[in-house]
Amino acid sequence: MVFGVIAMFGSFVILGKTLMMTLAQMMTDSPSSSSSSFSSFSSASSSPLSSSSSSTHSEQVLQVVVPGINIPINQLTYFFAAVLISGVVHEIGHGIAAIREQVRFNGFGIFLFIIYPGAFVDLFSTHLQLISPVQQLRIFCAGIWHNFILALMGILALVLLPIILFPFYYTGVGVLITEVAEDSPAIGLRGLFVGDLVTQLQDCPVTNVQDWNECLDTIAYESQIGYCISASTLQHLSFPVRAYKRLDGSTECCNNHSVTNVCFSYTNNFNKHLHTCLPIRKAVKATQVCRTNKDCKQGSTFCTVPSLDIHTRLIKVRHPPQIDTLYIGHPLNLHYTVSVTSFVPRFNFLSIDLPVVVETFVKYLISLSGALAIVNAVPCFALDGQWILNSFLDATLTSVIGDNDVKDLIGFFILLGGSVLLAANMTLGLWMVTAR
């Protein structure tokens, strides 16, 4: 009950913050495409909003969800299953609380609102009116409380997943590639394949998915790393070159059609900036990485850096026992076109996709159940928040304000404010998602 009242007022703060962030995004003309946000109807649970659980590009707690636009088509099963389970748990919470407070429970059902599944409970309204406002609060707050508990259980399951799956999968040794998109620049004879275990990106060790993402982010935002190559090796491997500037500002000194050679730049002992065309695989094989010549310990060794445009990186991907993959492109392309998991099967007959399926579903369940709790707590017409507010005012203001009309007027304006705030968030959020 106390949780529900706190959630009701807290939802005002969350919706206000979300609205301000949406307006700020509109002013900068940068609609976000990440997923999140959820809503429900009266004592029935369904919705086009969900809470943000893993967005790396947005700090918004709530964001409008449009299946097929900011929810991938191949994840719609997770989405609708999580919506249905969250709604059912929400209504079960109302039903259990009603039975506890001696209110007759007439029935329970599931419905479909446009494309969103939902659930409802039918309580005997006469019994509801006869019990005290405090008892009513317990019933009306039970739905969002059960959604909150469901989200907490999901978080716990996500944290304990490596332990739960330990007899069948092990973690902490790298990331296992589960999918490589057909248009991925990582595809090739010496590229990445499903089942490869990646243990390192450049000089960045990779033990799990978080390491993979952080390494790619670091590589993307830092300048291109170099490789320590001795003067004798440079002389042996290099080709006669004529360097020229590209339109993007980078320097080219190899044949434009070469797929095996890359232009490198370095500074010699006389502090002169030079360029040389090198066979890329031989140049970076078993060499120390560096930023400057000082990082290269041996004498007459130079830090040679691939001469690429500002957004392109040369990334050495280590996935033993296969030969290292040399990826040239934007690091985010590798992030978006290669799917990985931290779970490695202990036995060959186990699916590499099972942990990904479980993990993805639990994340959707956490996001949507949490969002249903937040949005249903909003003091808005037709949502649980309306009945929570009415019962709260009856329990607290009846002895203070004798005139019921004044109390009802206060409740009406609070409900009007909550309804306008929720409608504004949904309208502007929908515009942000579909604007591009």
Give residue-wise pLDDT tens across range 314-323: 999 999 999 9
Report strand pairing: 289-290 vs 226-230: antiparallel
**What's the pLDDT at 402?**
67
Check: CB of residue 271 under 8 Å from CB of residue 245: no
Let me know how long the chain is. Answer: 436
Check: CB of residue 33 under 8 Å from CB of residue 433: yes
**What's the pLDDT at 396?**
86
Share of the chain above pLDDT 90, in %: 43
**What's the pLDDT at 37?**
36
Residue 329, classed as helix, strand or coil, is strand
Q: Tell me 105's DSSP state.
A: E
State the angle between helix axes of 384-397 and 2-27 in degrees (0 to 180), rounded to the nearest 10.
Answer: 130
Out of 110-114, 306-310, 346-350, 432-436, which region has the weakest mean confidence (pLDDT)? Answer: 432-436
CA–CA distance from 122 to each of 43, 89, 95, 98, 420 (Å)?
9, 15, 8, 10, 28
Q: Say how far apart CA 80 and CA 45 lie, in whole Å.
A: 12
Of 59, 91, 179, 252, the active-site residue reads: 91
pLDDT tens-digit readout, 335-392: 889 999 999 999 999 999 999 999 999 999 999 999 999 999 999 898 888 999 988 8
Residue 357, classed as helix, strand or coil, is helix
Report strand pairing: 273-279 vs 244-245: unpaired
Q: Tell me 7's DSSP state.
A: H
Residue 91 annotated as catalytic: yes
**What's the pLDDT at 142?**
93
Residues contacting residue 3 through CB under 8 Å, at least 6 positions apart: 141, 144, 145, 148
Check: CB of residue 253 under 8 Å from CB of residue 276: yes
- Closest C-alpha to 115, from 67, 71, 43: 67
pLDDT at 266 over 80: yes
**What's the pLDDT at 300?**
81
**What's the pLDDT at 135?**
92
The stretch 95-113 carries a mean pLDDT of 86
